[in-house]
Structure 1
């Protein structure tokens, strides 16, 4: 009875959570993820709104929203230690760390380790990427984060199993919570296409911060093959170049793609939308797409917000077999094709375009699965986890 009263007491009171992450208006997938997550959690936990410790690039003067309480200079170790001291004296119940390699300074983000070692509040770490080899440089960081966290969150059961088997993580310290998606209505493309004057086109697309590991060149080759059968096919490459890639390489990759478009003579079949799009724009662009295609080149890609959103919108998705796509598109929820295989992408598009019932079955199965990934569902899982930690554990880190 005492335990029940304690659980109910924790559930009744607000939970004060500080999130350590990149954050809007920074143009970064983790920043967008954290904004969407905290928006959803705030609706369920309205009397202790999310507080943000925003990881900021040096010399980048961004106008962060009011919920940002501290800016961490990602390259300065002293900034991390000051942030940890702020948190330790804040009275926060939980610290939620959104971890991605390269986000926390140095080569792989090594500055995060002294930060977590200095924390005196319970830490929950969301691992957006996990290195397969625990003895690699990245693996050492992951191992230490798991050790210092009350619980680590991953987005796939396969990643959870790898952490247990290869990193020897305790099973009760690894929790799977899927990548969130907006709760979008299941809708045909007709209205969206009419709005953009695309009613007569077969439309393919993807939405990314553009980098070389996205494998867009293989989709361009597929478009050249599809165009032989459907001359009006149109492929949208949506999103600006990733700011980090832009800093070090400029627009080299985008220019190489434009050159390839000309070489393949598909200028009328490809459009580049070089901008960072809002959520409303993303929904409109997903709406016009008959097929959402990802051709990522990294087999260990452990998450993709854009693919999650496409599944949540009930899109017919075709993807290379990186581990996130394999899990999300399994059981007939999408089509998996080999890496770097333009012919297989083209064949899948043509086959499904000519077999509408088959395509519709994939879309409906994807949409149904996407209901489990809505931000409201994900937020509830996060809050339940936070409550469990507050009920079960002291504030002493490992």
Structure 2
């Protein structure tokens, strides 16, 4: 009998990232990604080295987490290096990079970690800054030199890496942000107490960089034309923000809504929702809005989910939204512009033909972003890095 292992050549991969149950978009991303790859690579399931900070030290991680790396603890990084280099239990290391996850100046400990590894490395860059500090630029440039491949989610990010950071173009691969495989034409408003409403949603960990106040300020004008509209702000305050300033921003938003007499037109769902519950809120939405204030944001799981679900999307022109909307699946509004938000929301809802076309383009694009396809692309890239058939 032929051995299944000989046919499939399993890949023993270690992922360095934040990880569930940490309340972090990249933690959820890594769980979804490894679930998808495990289906293709069942004889060598994902191993995780989870990044910890003072907030997450109390968490209990699932069994696949082999190591916990204290953000500023060099010995923890070195322990993982020793495991990778000496045990034969790892073929390749996959790093999910974001500034703020790793220790040292601008996160340079992950660079030191990479330079000690003796196995191939793939790094996903969740942020590629147009205007980096000199230190950040040097770190990304050196990561690009050390890694076998860099994964980004936008063509714009690839061009920045090549032209600004001087990374070898042959090393940079564009793989989209993954999304669940949403069924078409789901609703579910009744179960969420939203039957008969026009639902507009923003779902994310809440912080002042999300620009939610500009949507709330737009609501009085929107309500004049769409009296049945409800704006859902879904998600709890970002844990780091909560640690430094508590619920100051959320209290500001609630006071705005109250002062504008918005009543039930603005609802806060102050919870970090499990994936299946989040999917229900996204599926129940008629409109989806990301009014973010950072022009350099190069990825958004929130917007990716809305596109995957085939929703009519409205967004400020940060990097990720600009490139995704070039494909015709949404409308852009200027940063911090409540009048433009109100006008665009009303236009989008009133023009049904245009909205339906937008929804169709979003859903079609979303089929190319499902975790099934994203997992395949990561897995084949790992095979290529290891010279495996």
TM-score (ref. length: structure 1): 0.93
Secondary structure of the structure 2 residue equivalent to 1:227: helix
Moved more, 135-144 or 162-171: 135-144
Task: Select 1:212's aligned residue among 192, 208, 211.
Answer: 208
**1:72 correspondence with 2:69:** yes
- Pairwise CA distance, 1:12: 2.8
Aligned match of 1:362 in 358, 361, 375?
358
TM-superposed CA distance for 1:265, in Å, is 1.8
- Report if aligned partners of 1:58, 1:75 keep a CA contact under 8 Å in 2: no
Which ranges in structure 2 are unaligned for 5 or more consecutive residues?
none
Distance 1:44 1:321, change over 3 A: same
Q: Do residues 84 (structure 1) and 94 (structure 2) align?
A: no
8 A Cα contact 2:52 2:70, kept in partner: yes
SS of the counterpart of 2:225? coil
1:343 matches 2:339: yes
2:187 is the alignment partner of 1:167? no
Moved over 4 A (4+): none
After superposition, the Cα gap between the structure-2 partners of 1:352 and 1:98, relative to the gap in structure 1 and judged at 3 Å, is same
Residue ranges of structure 1 left out of the alignment (5+ in a row): 1-8, 393-398
* SS of aligned partner of 2:114: helix
Aligned to 1:391, the other structure's residue is in SS state coil
Equivalent residue, structure 2, for 1:372: 368
CA distances 1:273-317 after superposition (whole Å, capped 9, x unpaired): 111001110111012111000011111100000110110000110
Q: Is the 8 A contact 1:38 1:50 kept in 2?
A: yes
Secondary structure, in 3 states, of the residue corresponding to 1:271? strand
Trace 1:243-262 onto structure 2 (pairs within 5 A).
Answer: 243-262=239-258
Instruction: Please name the residue that 2:97 is paired with.
Output: 99
SS of the residue corresponding to residue 370 of structure 1 reads helix
Take 1:310 and 1:335, find their aligned partners in 2: how far apart are those partners? 13
- Distance (Å, rounded) in 2 between the aligned partners of 1:341 and 1:134: 26
Q: CA deviation at 1:56?
A: 1.1
Aligned residues: 382
- Deviation for aligned residue 1:133: 3.7
Shift of 1:135: 5.4
TM-score, normalised to structure 2, is 0.95
Pick the aligned partner of 2:185 from 184, 187, 192. 187
2:387 to 370, 376, 391: 391
Say if 2:317 and 2:334, in contact at 8 Å, map to a contact too. yes
Work out which of the residue numbers 144, 152, 155 in structure 2 matches 1:154.
152
Show the 5 A alignment for 1:33-48. 33-48=29-44
CA contact (8 A) 1:134 1:167 kept: no
1:137 positional shift = 2.5
Question: Can you list the C-alpha shifts for 1:156-205, whole angstroms capped at 9, x where unaligned?
Answer: 0110011111111111111100000001111153xx11222322211111
* Alpha-carbon distance change, 288 to 134 in structure 1, aligned in 2, over 3 angstroms: closer
Residue 242 to residue 106, structure 1, CA distance change in 2 (3 Å): farther
Superposed CA offset, 1:204-224 (max 9, x none): 111101111100011111212
Q: Give 1:227 deviation, angstroms.
A: 1.3
Using the TM superposition, give the Cα deviation of residue 107 of structure 1 relative to its aligned residue in structure 2, in angstroms: 5.4
Cα distance, 1:90–1:254 mapped onto 2, change above 3 Å: farther
* Backbone CA RMSD of aligned residues: 1.6
- CA distance in 2 between counterparts of 1:366 and 1:62 reads 36
